[in-house]
Amino acid sequence: MTPKFRLFIGAVALSVSIAPVAVSAAAKPYFSGQAQVSDKTPELSLMLAGGALSVCSSMSPKHCTAATHFPDNAKTHQMYELSKHSLARFQTTPAWARLDVETQRALLGSLGSSDSKILDVDGLHELLGPLTNELNDASYFALLDTLEQVQLTPQGEPKTEQVQLAQGKNAQGANHFNAFVRRAARLAGNQPPKIGIVTASARDPFEAASFYQQTFTQAGAIAQWIPLNGALQQAWQFEDKVAGCAALAQLGEAHHGYHDRLRVHPQLWEQHHLLCRHPEQLLNTLASLDGLFLSGGDQSLTLAAWLDADGQPSAALKLVKQRVANGELIIGGTSAGTAVMASGAMITGGTSQGALDFGVITAPPVSERCEERSCEAPFPAQTLTYRTGGGLGFYPFGVTDTHFSERDRQIRLVLLQDKSDTGLAVGVDENTALWLSKDGSFGVIEGEGGVWFSEPAGEMVPENALASEKALTSVQTSETTKAQSHERATHSHIIHYLPHGTRLRLNRDGVTVDDTGAGLQQVNCDGFTPNWLANRPLKLIFKPESRCYPEGYYEYLRLEHSSGLSSDKVSHH
C-alpha cells in the first residue's frame, strides 16, 4: 500500500460513511483499455464544465431512458411535512424571530390552519400564496428546511437521490464524468482514481453529496465527499476550537443559509462536525487525491470554502494549487464550480440585459429570488456584479462563465472583461466542457454545445474609424446613439465560438485554433447574426480571416461596443 493510499484510507476511516452506493453493472471504469496519450499532447488537468450535465437520477427522470427503474430507497421529490411539530421547529429559528408580528400571523394563518399533510414544493407554495414571494431568503429557506420531511424506506433507512449513470438518455452527461475519472486514473497508474467532491456551492451542500458520490463511483472512481464549506472555515477561526465547532449550525445559517441539517442528514452532519474537530484531516485527504471536483450552485459560496476568514487563500487551497502545478492532481467543476476558477475578476450575478441597463459593479449579488419578486435591494437583481481579484485562479487568463449560450451571457462576459481589464474570457455551454492543461495553454472542447472566447479589447480607436469594413449587425436605438455621441472610443474584441472536438492554444491575449474537429465545413458569413446580438447596441464585423461554420460556430469575428456600456449605471437608478 502506497503512502498516498494510506492517507486516503485514513481520511475515509475517520469519517462516517455515506449510505452505500449501488454501482451499476454497466458502469465500468472509463480508464480501462484507453489509448495512451501522445507524448506531444499536454496532459489535461483542468475541467471547466458549463453546467446542466445530463445524468440519469431518481430526481431527474427526464434524463433517463424509458426502461430505467430505481430501487426502493430512491428519493424522487423533495417533500415537506406540515404539522404542529414541523411548524414548532420553524418557530425556534432566528429567522422566525426576525419576522414582524403581522407576517408571523399570516404564516400561521396559511399553514397552521391545515390538517397535517405531506406536500411537494408546489403544494407548499400554493398554501403560502403571496407569502412565497414576500418572505426574505432567510425566512423562506428556514421554512423549507425545518418543514423538510425525512423520507425513510419501510426498513427505516433514509432515502436518497439514486443515480444510474449508464441509463442516461443523453450520453454526454455520463461522458463528462467518465472523462474526468479517466484522466485522473492516469495519475493513479491506471488504477481506480481517488476523487474528492466539494459541494460547497449548493445552499444545502449535504443534499448534493450522495448524487456526486454515486456518479463518480459508477464512473469507476473511489469517491469521497469532503464536507468543506464557508461555515467550517469560520468555525476554524475561533480561538476556542470546541466552541467554534459547537457553533457550526449557527454559522451554517449565517454564512450558507441552511437550517436543521442535523435532523435531515445526520450521518453527513457528523462527517461535517468530525472534520471541524480534526482539521488536519482535510490536508491529509487533499494530499491523497487524484482528482478534485467542485459542484454547481453559487460560486461565492464555493470561494468562501477555500479562503480564510480574512479572505486569503487557505492552506487547503495552497496545497491543491501546488499539487495541480506539480501534475499530481486534476481539478474540475460544473456551473458555479467553473465560474469560481476565474482570475482577475469573478462574476457573482446579473444578466446581459442587466449589464446594459444597470451597469457593471463590484458587489455581492442580490438574491436570485429578487428577479421574480419585489424585494429591498441596493440595486436591481439583474445588475452585473463581480468580485475583484477573481476566484480560485485555476483558469489563469481571466473570467469564466457558464450556462452560456442557453442564457445569452455573451454581453455580460464582454462588459465584465472590459470593466475588469482581464484577459481571454471563456463562456461554456451546458453539457459541455473545456479541458485545459495545467498552465491553461492547451485546450480541448468536449460535449454537446460549444465554448465562446472573447479576446481582450485592443487599442481604443475612434468611432467610425472602422466604418469601411462590412458590418453584419449594427442596431442602435436613438438613446444609444445619443449616448455614443458623447463617447470618443470603441472597445474592439475578437470573438470565437467553437464546437466539440476543437483543439486550441490559449494565452492571455487570445486563441489559436489547431483543429476545429472532423467534418466541420466553412460557410459564408454574409447575413450571419447570432440571436444574442439582436436589438443590442453592439456591432459584429467580419474580417478577411473570419470563418463561419454550420450551427452558428465561428472564428475571428470582431465585436465592437462603446466604452460607456461597461460603466456603472446603478447610481442613476
pLDDT tens-place string over residues 271-288: 999 999 999 999 999 999
State the pLDDT at residue 479: 42
- Is pLDDT at 225 greater than 80 in this prediction? yes
Residue reference for cell 432567510: 138
- 197-220 pLDDT per residue, tens: 999 999 999 999 999 999 999 999
* pLDDT reported for residue 16: 36
Q: Where are the beta strands (DSSP E) in 239-319?
A: 291-294
Confidence of residue 68 (pLDDT cuts 50, 70, 90): very high
What nine digits make up the cell of 406?
Answer: 442557453
Burial class (CB in 10 A: 0-12, 13-18, 19+), 110: middle
The per-residue pLDDT for range 391-427, each reduced to its tens digit, is 999 999 999 999 999 999 999 999 999 999 999 999 9
What confidence tens digit (pLDDT) does each residue in 36-60 have? 444 567 999 999 999 999 999 999 9
pLDDT at 516: 82
Closest CA to 457 of 501, 423, 487: 423
What percent of the chain is modeled with pLDDT above 90?
76
What is the structure's pLDDT at 370? 80
Average pLDDT, the chain: 88
The Cα 342–Cα 398 span in angstroms is: 6
Task: Among 100-109, 449-458, 472-481, 555-564, name the one with the lowest average pLDDT.
Answer: 472-481
Do residues 180 and 293 make contact, with C-beta atoms less than 8 angstroms apart? yes
Residue type present at position 297: G
Split at pLDDT 50, 70, 90, the class of 518 is: low
Task: Answer for the pair 119, 149: CB distance below 8 angstroms, yes or no.
Answer: no
Which residue, among 380, 401, 336, has the nearest Cα to 532 in the 3D structure? Answer: 401
Average pLDDT estimate for 483-504: 79
